[in-house]
Chains A and B, each alone.
Chain A
Amino acid sequence: MKRLDVTLGQDLRHPLEEYLRMDRIPHVWCPGCGIGTTLNAFLTAVKKSGIPRKDIAVVSGIGCSGRAAGYVKLDSFHTTHGRAIPFATGLKLANPKLTVVVFAGDGDLLAIGGNHLIHAARRNMDINIICINNFNYAMTGGQFSPTTPEKARLTTAPYGSYEHPFNVPFLVDSCGATYVARWTALHVRRLTNSILEALHHPGFSFIEVISSCPTVYARRNRLGTGLDLLKFYRDNSVIKNGANTRECDIRFQEQLIVGKFVDQEKPTYHDTMTEYLSQSVGKRYVPYQGPMQGKEEDGN
């Protein structure tokens, strides 16, 4: 049903209403935060993809970014900190027909969940990762994370961080990810396209989104408002599709190399497993039959 604003004569429905849990809006994110923009890009890509809504599942970890699972009107799982990828792995293997998307933060995916990230990439597990990189642990009030650029100040790095951050695209590329891109929260159209490609990409895809966090990261580092951060992205992003990921390091307030870095075909975990087993086990091989069907006689 359309809700019409009579005075303005405008359709006030959110264009992505059918993908959002409108009964949970307003969301928790701050004004100027890049997470909402990224979610918008994601849902737009989902809409464009033509994949039926029932076939897409979203798994989140814990953090500001992790709250995304709670707002999408899709099968959605808000799990534990760091464990979104293995949860998604179980979901995907038990129902290979699902398109599984992990939406989580840099702390979640690269610190506490780092081990799962590298192994899912190595396996070329057919899941899609959207990594909100806001350079900090935002939900807990702004501590430094494995992506915090050196010298940036955060609550647990009050004099500036002296740890070397991950070069994230290089990390996942070297572990075997078959689709790797990086955009900022300003590059909405390109980001949407990348997510769309990733959704159709068989295998492990990873999209890093450099995301504005005005409330914690920017405030601690006196970088201004959300808008100031977007201006910074505009002035300092360099699009280099196909760039060598080794050269994609991020330094504090320096240029940001963005683009699609990796897009290659390689058999997924599931394909490799079924092909290999049917060869080595032969005729006795019984491939996984899918999940239980929701009928009384589900059992052996």
Chain B
Amino acid sequence: MESKPPVLLTGPHYWDGDFACAEGAIAAGCRFLAGYPITPSTEVAERIAERFPLVGGTFIQMEDELASMAAVLGAAWAGARAMTVTSGPGFSLMQENIGLGVMTETPCVVVDVQRGGPSTGLPTLTGQQDMMQARWGSHGDYEIIALSPSSPQECFDLIITSFNLSEKYRVPVMFMMDECVGHMTERVVVPALSSIKVRHRRWYRGARDKYHPYVPAKDGVPPIVKAGDDYRFHITGLTHDQRGYPVINAECQHQCVSRLVGKIKDNTDRIVILEEDRTEDAEVVVVSYGISYRVATRAIDLARQQGIKVGSLRLVTVWPFPERRIIELAKKVKCLVMPEINMGQVFLEMERCASCFCRTRLVPHCGGWVHDPNDILKAILKGVKS
């Protein structure tokens, strides 16, 4: 018998971030992707279209991003690990159904390879301008999880983490890449299948006739079932009770929304992934994420060469925001500096947490390219004087 191609291409490769993201999704067990082409994310879908027929996945190019997101939710409820991939304009179109995903607690992943906006903006050039849209893009109150990779290797590794978090917390996870990371080609090492940890879905294990879709476990997250297994359940985007039935009143709204928010908020410390470097003696800490983290590292090195005590806090998860750690650092440093390829988005959260305790400095950038490390260095120098 001819051997089937391996699911995982274990070994070293020279891949761009988009390819690595696609391969990481396959490694995470993703077998359904619905998408609509958009620069600079298209290569993810292209890679998936090529690879899925070899690994037992279904790819469909939908008619738009509204459809893509809806199809992902449908596939997830049929029991598939599902994702979609897009960039700014498509991300905007997905928002209503991301909200449905939040409300119905549907595990799935949304990849946004960010480009400069607003509107069609800079289709081929980088930006980090969808960070607040990831957080608040759909209407209503909710909490979300968002990760931001800084390299093609992390596009592979962290998309797996994203799927795992989406399963654990039953929430759509936003994978916030950017054009730079998506199109940069670097060494990516795919580990052996056995060393990849994939979290299973939180399948309901109780009696069939006792199943209610929204009875939470201790951590606030309800176990799940899938269509076709004779639970004959109902889910709705309307405010609902534990049976999943619509109940249109303030009490039910309170219960429903406070649990949706609480299951993320109360587990923030478990969800948050941070990387810290040289913060022990730091007078200034540069807080950054995604591609900006790598530029910040250069600025930090330059500052250290001048004898300035500066450290780095990298947000691997951007949402939920790591309030606790920011406050701790703010209490011991003179200044927190944040470079972002936007006019100040995640910075607002940092400022909210830190401004009682230390100074904060934004290094904005309108998009189209990454920061000049010297601009970050200048902010560090100003910060250390304050």
Contact = CB atoms under 8 A, between A and B. Distances in A.
B70 A80 contact: yes
Interface stretch (A53-61, A159-167, A199-207): A53-61
A294 B231 CA distance: 13
B73 to A, nearest CB: 6
B70 A286 contact: no
B62 A86 contact: yes
A47 to B, nearest CB: 14
A24 B27 CA distance: 42
A281 B63 CA distance: 25
B149 to A, nearest CB: 20
Contacts of B54: 281, 284-286
B56 interface: yes
Interface in B74-90: 74-82
A93 B8 CA distance: 23
A287 interface: yes
A273 B57 CA distance: 12
A89 B67 contact: yes
Contact of A79 (B28, B64, B73, B75): B73
Interface stretch (B29-37, B115-123, B265-273, B328-336): B29-37
Nearest to A287: B56
Interface string A57-74: 101001000000110011
B71 A86 contact: yes
Interface stretch (B174-182, B222-230, B255-263, B284-292): B222-230
A97 interface: yes
Interface stretch (B11-19, B233-241, B317-325, B366-374): B233-241
A289 B55 CA distance: 9
B230 A53 contact: yes
B361 interface: no
A291 B76 CA distance: 9
A298 interface: yes
B230 to A, nearest CB: 4
B92 to A, nearest CB: 15
A94 B81 CA distance: 9
B184 interface: no
Interface in A252-300: 273, 277, 281, 283-300
A1 to B, nearest CB: 14
A251 interface: no
B74 A86 contact: yes
Contacts of B28: 299-300
B97 interface: yes
B53 interface: yes
A151 interface: no
Contacts of A78: 234-238, 246
Interface string B176-203: 0000000000000000010010111101
B7 interface: yes
Contacts of B376: none
Given A80-B96, A87-B74, A94 B80 contact: yes
B58 interface: yes
Contacts of A289: 31, 56
A97 B227 CA distance: 10
A21 to B, nearest CB: 7
Contacts of B199: 299
Interface of B: 2, 4-5, 7-8, 26-29, 31-32, 34, 53-58, 60, 62-64, 66-68, 70-82, 96-97, 100, 193, 196, 198-201, 203, 225-238, 243, 245-246
23 contacts: A54-B228, A54-B229, A77-B74, A78-B234, A79-B97, A85-B67, A90-B34, A90-B74, A91-B227, A93-B78, A94-B74, A94-B76, A95-B226, A95-B227, A115-B67, A116-B67, A281-B54, A286-B4, A287-B56, A289-B31, A290-B79, A291-B226, A294-B225
Given A94-B76, A95-B79, A300-B26, 8 more contacts: A62-B237, A86-B70, A90-B78, A287-B56, A291-B228, A294-B229, A298-B201, A300-B7
- Listed from nearest, the 9 A-B pairs whose CB atoms lie closest are A90-B74, A291-B79, A299-B198, A90-B71, A94-B78, A86-B67, A54-B230, A94-B75, A78-B236
